[in-house]
Chain A
Amino acid sequence: MSDDGVFVTEERIEGAADGPLAGQTVAVKDNISTEGVRTTCGSEMLADYVPPYDATVVERLKEAGATIVGKANMDEFGMGSTTETSAFGPTENPAAEGRVPGGSSGGSAAAVAAGEADLALGSDTGGSVRNPAAFCGVVGIKPTYGLVSRYGLVAYANSLEQIGPFGSTVEEAAELLDVVAGPDRRDATTRDEGADSDYAAAADGDVDGLEVAVPTNLVDGADEGVVETFRSALDELEDRGATYHEVELPSVEHAVEAYYVIAMSEASSNLARFDGVRYGHRADADTGEQGSSSSATQSHDGNWNEAFARTRKEGFGEEVKRRVLLGTYALSAGYHDKYYKKAQDARAWVKQDFDEALEDADVLASPTMPVPPFERGGSLDDPLQMYLADANTVPVNLADLPAISVPAGETDGLPVGIQFVGSAFDEETIVRAGSALA
């Protein structure tokens, strides 16, 4: 781990000599597979895991001439909003001393904010690109579901997540998105949109005539200083010819619980693969302590299930265990209809609400995070409070839509991000809106 906690592994991977990203350095989140370079997901479970293949986005980076400078720190398996659940230690926020960089892609955002990389890739399941972009004062994009291949991304919640770019400016982030976007035969959920994209060209700052809708539900509960900064960014857009109106989205009041039920359920299934047999940590046969229900057995001689349970006890951190257990609970007999099915209803409702709002507006705008960056170490004891901070980002993942977080200014010296949400596969419009500010 690097001193500032930005990189779990610092290793250079050189790309092609020419290409649109020649001469550019890129930090890659440590849940994106890099052939021959260990990929830990911020977890003890994968501390020594070395992928035998590249993720599609890594292949595309190399072909575009980029130089990868390291694997960026993250909340374990993407589960967190502070990068403090990483098994390898926390990351400094280069833009706000003593505060968290956000998460889960905190190392990626911090790498760009600190100038340790020109660009970075993260992944966004419920805000994990936009949240750290906002907290570190950089630009981050969560693409439409299906725009970017997830092949080689270690899965947390497949139906929600997308790989997304970070940059110091909207144009730079859009250039990186142009490189990684487009169909991939190895990810059947990718679509043809984005095949010959030129999102960077849309970063022209021209918001004359842009109609912005502001969902009151995503502004009312936010911190006062955050709202003030958000409002002044809106004023700037208005000065440049944009107009805005308010809109109510009642469904988003249920977005956080729907998101967590769906994400935890998918996680409980996805993380079942970590059994210590094919890859990853395996509980030691000699030192493995006995489970509460185990007889006097050792991992190799004993019961498969007990060995498996011990391996996962040792390999997973607290937040990962919490989510795997809650997801297992939500899917277990008798509770499936109560939680999972209802969460899917809420997801459809959120999608409907956003689609309707976008019929009368080009983009929706809100503060990216309802609060300024948290103080380090303060937030891990109360998981529910931490989940609630995702209120403004998770609805976008539920609705499969694209969104961008752009620096809006500061409150008390702390960075504040503004989020623009667009229609499906209309990345150009959020890039254009964001480019008026950064």
Chain B
Amino acid sequence: MSDTPVNSDEVRHVADLARVDLDDDDVDRFTEQFADILAYFETLDEVPEVEREADLANVMRPDEVRDSLSQAEALANAEETEDGYFKGPNVS
């Protein structure tokens, strides 16, 4: 079906990179589905190299001080705050 080596270890590795915890049955299901989907993506090999003319210019503006959210507004949706800061889990 596919010569793409998708196995469960690879799905676990990618989930680890993406910081998404998976149950074992998630891993099994995704391994199967990814084989199909990646096999389909393989057809991109048939795409010729195309000259991409970037007809674009950078959009710049002066870096001026403007009003922004207050500290309280910025923190309002956080699960946990301390002394006006976001509080996250420990970085061990």
Contact = CB atoms under 8 A, between A and B. Distances in A.
Interface of A: 48-50, 52-53, 185, 188-189, 251, 254, 257-258, 260-261, 268, 272, 275-280, 282, 291-293, 299-310, 312-313, 316, 321-322, 324-326, 328-330, 332, 338-339, 342-346, 348-349, 352, 383-384, 387
Interface string B60-92: 010000000100011011111000001111111
B17 A328 contact: yes
Interface residues of B, number: 49
B36 interface: yes
A326 B40 CA distance: 13
B18 to A, nearest CB: 4
A341 B39 CA distance: 17
A303 B20 contact: no
B20 A316 contact: yes
Interface string B31-63: 001101110110111111111100000010100
A316 B18 CA distance: 12
A280 B86 CA distance: 13
Interface string B1-27: 000000000111011111111101010
A329 B34 contact: yes
Contacts of A185: 61
B79 A303 contact: no
Nearest to A258: B44
Query: Interface residues of A: mostly helix, strand, loop or mixed?
Result: helix
B12 A292 contact: yes
A421 B92 CA distance: 53
Nearest to B12: A292
B41 A339 contact: yes
Given A278-B86, A310-B21, A345-B49, 10 more contacts: A254-B47, A277-B78, A277-B79, A280-B77, A302-B90, A312-B18, A325-B20, A326-B37, A344-B52, A384-B37
3 nearest A-B pairs in the assembled complex, by CB-CB distance: A279-B77, A313-B21, A307-B89
A148 to B, nearest CB: 16
B76 to A, nearest CB: 6
Contacts of A304: 88-92
Contacts of B92: 302-304
B21 A291 contact: yes
Contacts of B38: 326, 329
Contact of B34 (A300, A326, A342): A326
Given A260-B41, A292-B12, A346-B44, A299 B18 contact: no
B33 A322 contact: yes
B25 to A, nearest CB: 12
